[in-house]
Amino acid sequence: MCGIAGWFNAPQNKQHLESMLRSIRHRGPEGTGTFESDQVSFGNTRLAFVDLEAGQQPLSNETGTLWLTCNGEIFNHSELRSQLAGRHAFRTECDVEVILHLYEEYGVEGFKRLNGQYAFALWDSIRRKFILCRDRLGICPFFYTFSGSTLYFASEIKALLTIPELHREPDFQVLQDIWTFWTPLPGKTPFKNIFEVLPAHHYSLEEGKRDIKKECYWQLDFTEERWTENTAKEAFASIFDDAVRIRLKADVPVASYLSGGVDSSLIGAFASRYASTLHTFSIAFQHPDYDESEHQLQVARHLGTAHHVTRCTADDLAAALRKMVWHTEVPQLRAGPVSMLPLSENVSRHGLKAVLTGEGADEFFMGYDLFKETAVRRFMAKDPQSPMRRSLVSRLYPYLPGRDKFRSLELAMQDGLEQSDHMLFSHLFRWNNTARLQGYFHPEIRAELAPRPYEDRLAEILPDGFASWDSPQRAQTLEIMTFMTPYLLSSQGDRVAMANGVEGRFPFLDHRLVEFANSLPLTLKLRSLKQDKYVVRKTAESMLPADIAYRTKFPYRAPIHDIFKSSSFQHTGELLSEENLKKTGIFSPQAAMKLLNKAKKENMSSEMEQMALMGIATTQLWYDLFIRNNYP
């Protein structure tokens, strides 16, 4: 991984290019390279994994007619190199050089052959065409904006904010999205006129023009194939083993995160086959409702890994809040990204710069309670008055404290049952509940934000055929497109890992495994309320302790309410003063201060109130860092 930045359709400006790259130096502290011509300037800050000596970017083809800068890794580069050898002259052993020769051979169609995580810019000087491309699931971040006919691009928004003529302004419609979906939707950012390259797309632009041509080169597809339990288990083990193996390819060691659940534990089990000593890293919280350290240590002992624990206190979380917002560049309603900062810092402290992690397993093999909740609510909708049907709610969310409150959850989940045939039904309950938190917005902001149908807001990102898929497939797609990609892989993934120069690698997001998972019948993923990720767990039972292989899903969460009681929160708390809230003008000062005072005086048990306070605090931080103070 690394950081890339530059522009197209403007003359050279070395000082400006260096400023853009300097702002994202944390992504690649090991070196910088640039390419400049009459219309194109771009560069790269490098975090080296392959061909440490000669793999400096930007790279060109043998004739110098194509130039490339890429953030990411191409995991099948060896296979592609052997296919292209003889017809093309390779100048380095760098993995991303294959992109240049694939383009020479096949044009943009060649990008479909890549297996990896990447965001790259390619300059075709013969056709006078500039191309931006992003990996299938949006693992690598990629942003762009226009100033006149000049296209600027970068791995992070802060590099774009170095452009002197760019006017910084909040996009309140995107803030409304964050306070609905928990994150900006793919393609959007909370800054007006700054956009994100969509996952699985390549964009092309011709010299002197501003019209971008957008093409999607891969989509989710749920066409089922015939699988028995045994054949599915064999196929999963084979594909997953290779997905792990190729993500361990590097000229430096690769570590692994260990949460104590089946997904990261299975990655560790497969990775241990190839690593003489596998380093594993986990996080432990003081708060017992969030701590999984007992299970993490059990797995580490079982696999014989060199295990490292990051112990995270409320002070640690509060102290990291400002840094988290600086690196994610987005207001947050959840505390997960804050705790991932000290975790990746610990990886870096041990001299490691790549880590395997388990995102994607719950989305593609249906491990989230959300999928069970949707099935329960659709069942309730057929007879809403049935006490037996309503009682199934008590089987959901077993990790939540305060089981005596399930009566209120049972009643709440009856909301919207009449919409059980709606194509967005699985997520309406969550989105509608979160949207109520917009009541904390200042009345003038609320007046600007007219209600927008969810269908209209999601139109650009939903795959072809979505409306015709069945309920479980639609639920999976919505979770992948509105939560996994823009939040888990961004705020809680790349951004807080690369803040410390650490790259996350995701075996469950290998597109071969994704396509396999999407071809499975429902019974091999979600068999019952107690049997989720069925084929994953069946594979794990021979490699892990049974209580880990079949451990109930415990979603990764960090204790939000402890942050606001910490003495380290004092500086951030100043941004929640009546004076600062009035200056920003986004929230009602009275409502925000009342919420903060409540958090300081008592244990705020309401998850929605916790999310509201986290959202207010991080929005104030975001505004202070990026709008008011004109950083970097």
Please tell me the distance from the alpha carbon of residue 415 to that of residue 435, in angstroms, as a whole number: 15
β-strands 503-505, 354-356 pairing: parallel
Number of Cβ within 10 Å of residue 400's Cβ equals 15
Please give the single-letter amino acid code of residue 553. Answer: K
Q: Look at the block and give the residue holding tokens 């050089």.
A: 97
Contact in structure between 294 and 307 (CB atoms under 8 Å):
no
Nearest to 359, CA basis, from 540, 184, 274, 480: 480
Number of Cβ within 10 Å of residue 131's Cβ equals 22
Q: Token pair for residue 314?
A: 């409320």
64 backbone φψ class: left, alpha, beta (φ>0; ψ -120 to 50): left
Contact in structure between 230 and 201 (CB atoms under 8 Å):
no
Contact in structure between 398 and 552 (CB atoms under 8 Å):
yes
Angstrom CA distances, 193 to 167, 182, 328, stand at: 9, 21, 18
Q: Which residue among 2, 94, 133, 312 is the active-site one?
A: 2
Please tell me the distance from the alpha carbon of residue 542 to that of residue 280, in angstroms, as a whole number: 21
Which strands form 255-257's sheet, in the order they lie side by side?
A: 306-312, 279-285, 255-257, 354-356, 503-505
Please tell me the distance from the alpha carbon of residue 535 to that of residue 618, in angstroms, as a whole number: 39
SS3 assignment, position 308? strand
70 is catalytic: no
SS3 assignment, position 188? coil
Among the residues of 182-313, which ranges form H helices?
A: 229-247, 262-271, 293-303
Q: Look at the block and give the residue holding tokens 């005086």.
A: 601
Q: Token pair for residue 85?
A: 């050898």
Nearest to 33, CA basis, from 68, 66, 74: 68
Q: Which residues does 79 contact at the CB level (< 8 Å), separation at least 6? A: none
DSSP 344: H
Contact in structure between 224 and 254 (CB atoms under 8 Å):
no
Active site residues: 2
